[in-house]
Each structure stands twice: as C-alpha cells, then as structure tokens.
Structure 1
C-alpha cells in the first residue's frame, strides 16, 4: 500500500519533527557563537571541545569523545588544528601506552579566559530569545535526549 505524501504531511514534518527543528535551531545558535568567537580564532565546536578539556590531567580521546557524544575519529580530526595552534597537547597516557591524553596548554587556558565572557553574553542572548523558564525546560529536554 502506497502512502501519499502531500502538502499537509510536509507541513506536519516542518512543524513537529524533532530532528529537523533541533537541527535548524542548532545551526542558528552555533552561527551566533561562531560569529562571536571569530575574533579569537576558534568556533563554537572548538570552544566546547577546549572547555570540556578544562579538567586536571586532561582526558583520553575516548573520554572526550564520550563526553561530546561523537566518535573518536571526529575527536582526532578536530584536535589536530587546535594542537597546531598550541591550544592543547596530545601525549601518550602514563598508564596505558596505547592511549593518548589530550590536555589544555597555558595558551588554551588563556583563550578560554577570554572566550568565557563572550560565551556568557551569547548564551544569555539565546536564553532571552527562548525565555528563562522555557530555556531551562529546553536544556532539560535536550539532556534527556542526550542521555537516553
């Protein structure tokens, strides 16, 4: 039995599809952050990766991948330009010579100090668009999806 996909179906997807609408909103929000971070020479994804590494002794590639919900190859590819920019270092793990640890450098920490107030400003702008209570609900819902 063939299913007829009509204009109403398209409008339904356009209005109620979580995947499509989360993706659209993510692009708009990421663009706001990317534009704000541009003077620092990083984008929002790079800022998020660096901020995630703001822990004692850094993280393994696997730990960082799990934390950012991406695969290890994505981490490896995205770490290389940040390493070339001296914002982080990659070294052999002290406890497992097969594993690599990624750590912020002093230059990376200094960049985060400059980037954090920019993040606060843009994040507040996005929250103002959504509304404080709706923003908290949205973040809670997104966390539920991420942790499902």
Structure 2
C-alpha cells in the first residue's frame, strides 16, 4: 500500500520484504511500460500487413494532423528523443510516405508532410487501426481506456 507524505509517495513495507520487491510491485514506470508493450504489440499485429509498425503509424497520424511540421515540433508532440524520432522517420521517408520539404529560412528546419502514398496508407490501414483500437479498449476496459486518454491529454509538450 502507498501513502503520500509532503508530496512524496512512500511505500508501506514489511521488514522482511526486499526493497526490490516493493518497487517492482508499486512502480508506475514499470506498469506504464508494461501497458505500452502490450498495446504496441496489439497495434503492431494489426498494422503489420501494411508494412508499418505502431510507432511509425503514430508519426504518420501526427504528421497528417499537424503537417507540414518540423522535426523538433513533431518530437515535442510525440515525446520522442531526437535519435528515436529519426530512427522511426527514416523508413517512412524511404517508403515514400513522408517527404521533407525545402529548408526553412533558418536553413536547418525541413518540414515533414505526408505524400499522396502516405495519405493512402492511413486510409487503407484505418480499419486495421480500428480493430486494434477495439482490442486495446477491451484489454483496458472502457473506464481504463478513458482514464488513459485523460492522463495523456494532461501531459505537457516535451521540451526538446
């Protein structure tokens, strides 16, 4: 059991229980990553026939929603580190689903946009995404899914 004292979460523990067991049982990060891996595999399985994995599909959606968008803005919105963002963008660019525009006036920023093929991929994969979404909602329960979305909406943009 956990309780909060002065804004710090403290674990109730028994003297004979190892600290690692307490942390493993109560760690929010461990649970969030576990949920993330399960959900990622649900979406990966559904999107595999389209030649794309869940993190790449998420970037396609964000680029479609906010594009043309700079890499730094996309990284802030998706909470990606620069190297992870680059690694996930490379196949999208190589497949012709995303294009980098001409450099902006600063000479560095090249806005990302969906190509016709990228928009077609989103349209074609929509039913697979919908099936994965239904499966994920079933796994989390309607209340759990709603709460997860509420938590995500409250997160600040990443500062890059």
TM-score under structure 2 normalisation?
Answer: 0.79
Asked if structure 1 preserves the Cα contact closer than 8 Å seen for 2:100 and 2:111, the reply is: yes
Q: 1-side partners of 2:30 and 2:56: how far apart?
A: 24
Asked if structure 1 preserves the Cα contact closer than 8 Å seen for 2:42 and 2:135, the reply is: no
Match of 1:114 among 124, 147, 153: 124
1:40 is matched with 50
DSSP 3-state at the match of 1:103:
strand
Matched, 1:22 2:32: yes
What's the offset of the Cα at 1:9? 3.3
Which protein is richer in helix relative to its size?
1
Closer/same/farther in 2, CA of residues 7 and 45 from structure 1, 3 Å limit:
same
Note the alpha carbon deviations across 1:3-54, whole angstroms, 9 max, x for none.
xx96453333232210001101111110111111110000000000001001
Matched, 1:62 2:57: no
Q: 1-side partners of 2:66 and 2:99: how far apart?
A: 14
Match of 2:61 among 51, 62, 67: 51
Note the alpha carbon deviations across 1:60-83, whole angstroms, 9 max, x for none.
111111111112332223222111
Q: Structure 2 unaligned runs (5+)?
A: 1-14
Higher RCO structure, 1 or 2 (CA under 8 Å, sep 6+): 2
Closer/same/farther in 2, CA of residues 89 and 147 from structure 1, 3 Å limit:
same
Q: 2-side partners of 1:82 and 1:64: how far apart?
A: 14
What's the offset of the Cα at 1:94? 4.3
2:6 is matched with none
What is the Cα-based RMSD across aligned positions, in Å? 2.3
Q: Structure 1 unaligned runs (5+)?
A: none
**Superposition misfits of 4+ residues, deviation over 6 angstroms:** none
